[in-house]
Amino acid sequence: MASKREKQPNWSISEITLLQELVEKDEFVLKSKQTNTITNNKKNEKWAEICSKINAMGLQKRTVKQVIYKWGNLQQNAKKIYSEVKKQRKLTGGGPAPKPPSAQEEKITGQILVEYPVVLSPLCLQCLRVRLFYYAYAK
């Protein structure tokens, strides 16, 4: 009989905040749309760096797979809340106002809505393009 997987402790607020800051710092590489070997190796190296920095906090030992999975969950939850707030804004009539998203959720949503070009050269003019929606959302 296969043994059960041991439950990992929940992520602390400090781990989540550090994860968000590190992903924001390296988001150009991590969100690159290219999928060639060189780019994928760079992405894997960045995720490994992020994982080692989170593990350096000494709270809990996390794997790279867990870190990537947690970031995906944070993005998914932020998108869900963003779309719910957007839907509530369009409704008419009375009732209580919807709960606004937290600052952390707004920051993650802002990171998600940025669109980067495929070109990786930071000197390229295409790298300076972002969606107009990002500017409207970032205020």
Going residue by residue through the chain, which has 139 residues, state the pLDDT in tens, using 9 for 90 and above: 567 878 888 889 899 999 999 998 888 888 888 888 988 899 999 999 999 999 998 888 999 999 999 999 998 988 888 888 888 777 776 677 777 777 777 777 776 665 544 444 444 444 444 444 444 455 4
pLDDT at 29: 87
The answer to whether residue 103 is domain-embedded is: yes
Q: Alpha-carbon torsion 110, 115, 118, 120, what sign?
A: negative
Q: Minimal CA–CA distance to 5: which of 77, 65, 49, 50?
A: 65
The answer to whether residue 116 is domain-embedded is: yes
Q: Minimal CA–CA distance to 22: which of 10, 30, 33, 32?
A: 30
Contact between residue 98 and residue 84 where contact means Cβ atoms under 8 Å apart: yes
The answer to whether residue 7 is domain-embedded is: no
Q: Six-digit token pair at 67?
A: 């870190």
pLDDT at 52: 95
pLDDT at 46: 93
How does 17-35 read in b/e, with b if 16+ C-beta sit within 10 Å?
Answer: ebbbebbeebeeebebeee
* pTM for the whole structure: 0.68
pLDDT at 122: 47
Range of the domain at 93: 13-138
List C-alpha distances in Å: 28 to 117, 126, 139: 10, 13, 21
Q: Six-digit token pair at 83?
A: 């779309």
How many structural domains is the chain composed of?
1
The answer to whether residue 8 is domain-embedded is: no
The answer to whether residue 85 is domain-embedded is: yes
